[in-house]
Amino acid sequence: MKVAKFGGSSLASGEQFEKVFNIVMSDPKRKIVVVSAPGKRFASDIKVTDLLIECAEKCLKNEAADDLVEAVIERYASIARELGLSSRVSNMIRNDLLTVLSGDKSNPERFIDAVKATGEDNNAKLMAAYFQHKGVEARYVNPKDAGLIVSDEPGNAQVLPESYERLFELRNLPGIIIFPGFFGFTKKGEVVTFSRSGSDITGSILANGTKAELYENFTDVDAVYSVNPNIVEKPKEIRELTYREMRELSYAGFTVLHDEALIPAFRAGIPVNIKNTNNPSAPGTKIVHERTTSNGPVIGIASDKGFCSIYVSKYLMNREIGFGRKILQILEEYGLSYEHIPSGIDDISIILRKNQLNPALEEEIVTRIKTELEADEVKIERNLALIMIVGEGMRQNVGTMARASKALADAGVNIEMINQGSSEVSMMFGVKAEDEQRAVIALYKEFFAPVPVNV
């Protein structure tokens, strides 16, 4: 049995719905279909989820949102018309959305989650109606009825362990199951969503719970590429990579799969296959526990902007017990999370997402570290990009760091910091944000066959 998840671009129009139907029907093992909310039909289009968020925010401010409500309903209605479905489905979706929008607004976060969840929920109902219209035995299944129980963390729900045993019962239902992604229910019966793009997580949870042989994640690209195709033209496709490699690449900027989505599948040992809805015959990319490392040390290169670092220097820092804990405690008191902590014997750099800080907060943190920890120097470096080279093969290859450093030096890119994971599967370089593309291109040329680049 397979679980197949389809992203927003795969469900943006009636034509895309037909593709999904044909893909599901082409393989009788595809028992469970997880759907996202309708995505963009064209570059300047707006995703239904974004429309719903704006709609919810206006309602919370008691502002008129009729135009947004009608825009959302029309998206589903237009798909229904393209598929030849009766207006009954569109009317059902309209009533559902209006009911949720008129619900309790005393807890804004919970209200927004309930509104966001209608995107996937109504698309699953529409998809089930289409399958039935085509004469196929199919049913919409609500996450609450299926037993998908999650933590009470609006916008960042985590699946609870008891869900998996309950979800196994989905195997016993006849026909094809159409399941909405992105949300679950608390033990008290409240709707709570996963983090954005969380339908990937739902698919992975269902694959684990039903003990599927494969989790297929359908998107709009033929495969995971070794580097961002917006930077390098026609980059090498990755046919197979490990969970750990994909996790590192997702964290560092690869957006093809939610970085939390692999956890349930990984724990159950279920392989993940990323495929293209618009080209389903392409083999895609398989994510597995182990693979042969015949490709060389590096499988992929990822990058992301929007970082800054807090640099702290103090003579004999290494002899001061609890120094690192005291710095992190200061950050914790301000509710700040960090990404990396490269360090030397007398200095330490704490890498954070810069959107957590503002000038007043920066000044306060610098002052506290200087006074409370008696640091010799504290400064904040802004506008950093992190570049990650990833590959299980690095553990068996000598000189990967030297090759990467030389490639960056030859490209005139100054390395602000270096950090290598203890697993030796990844290596991170911090560079100035304006050097990001140049650095990525230099590393790609070093570890992969040179190709034309999009500068």
Binding residues for ATP: 5-8, 219-220, 225
Binding residues: 5-8, 49, 120, 219-220, 225
Torsion of CA 400, 402, 408, 412, to 10 degrees: -170
The two structure tokens encoding residue 148: 């998908």
Half-sphere exposure of 393 (CA within 13 A, CB side): 15
Cα distances (Å, whole numbers) of residue 148 to 172, 178, 183, 356: 16, 14, 9, 32
> In terms of C-beta density within 10 A (0-12 exposed, 13-18 middle, 19 or more buried), how is residue 322 classed?
exposed
- Helix, coil or strand: residue 145: helix
Closest listed residue to residue 309, CA positions, set 360, 356, 351, 370: 351
DSSP string, 193-229: E-STTTHHHHHHHHHHHTT-SEEEEEESSSSEESS-T
Residue 147 in contact with residue 166, Cβ under 8 Å?
yes
List the binding residues for substrate.
49, 120
Contact 369, 330 (CB under 8 A): yes
* Residues sharing a CB contact under 8 Å with residue 225, sequence separation 6 or more, in sequence order: 235, 236, 237, 238, 300
Report the alpha-carbon distance of residue 165 to residue 348 in Å, rounded: 45
Q: Cβ–Cβ contacts within 10 Å for residue 148, how many?
A: 26
CA 241 vs CA 107, 210, 224, 271, 304: distances in Å: 42, 24, 9, 10, 20
